């Protein structure tokens, strides 16, 4: 008894496979371009009721942190530290969320091992 493979599997149509490879390569190129564009973006986040502003890029590098003078209380350094930690974490989460959403638009939420990014 011979096992039969569905059409498109095994030794079937090489042009079909070539077409799929071309599509995969094009998708990888589009993903690489999108990742480059996302890395170049800059985002602004405010935290602590507007007392601190954080600028971050798409590579999750903090570009600047601006503080309002009234947030700097030598008697309450812990509050300042907490606000900065929360702000940096919020900024990183915001960039990751945007990156995931933009990639999902391109890939249709399809997981593609080997095409990575």
Distance CA 89, CA 85 (A): 6
Mean pLDDT of the chain: 85
**Per-residue pLDDT, 117:** 46
Q: Is 47 or 6 the better-scoring residue by pLDDT?
A: 47
67 φ/ψ sector (left φ>0, alpha ψ -120 to 50, else beta): beta
**Per-residue pLDDT, 109:** 67
CATH number of 14-107: 3.30.1310.10
Residue 65 confidence (pLDDT) above 50: yes
- 6-32 pLDDT, tens digit each: 555 555 556 788 888 888 888 889 999
The CA-atom distances, in angstroms, between 14 and each of 61, 113, 114 are 45, 22, 21
Beta-carbon count within 10 A of 116 CB? 9
- 84-106 pLDDT, tens digit each: 999 999 999 999 999 999 988 88
**Per-residue pLDDT, 14:** 62
Q: Work out the average pLDDT over 50-63.
A: 95
- Would you list the domain boundaries of the chain? 14-107
């Amino acid at each position: 008894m011979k096992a039969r493979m569905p059409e498109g599997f095994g030794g079937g149509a090489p042009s079909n496979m070539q077409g799929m490879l071309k599509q995969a390569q094009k998708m990888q190129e589009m993903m690489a371009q999108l990742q480059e564009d996302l890395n170049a973006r800059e985002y602004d986040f405010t935290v602590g009721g507007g007392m601190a502003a954080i600028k971050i890029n798409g590579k999750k590098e903090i570009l600047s942190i601006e503080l309002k003078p009234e947030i700097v209380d030598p008697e309450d350094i812990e509050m300042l530290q907490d606000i900065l930690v929360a702000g940096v974490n919020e900024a990183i989460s915001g960039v990751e969320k945007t990156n995931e959403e933009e990639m999902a638009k391109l890939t249709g939420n399809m997981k593609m091992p080997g095409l990575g990014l």
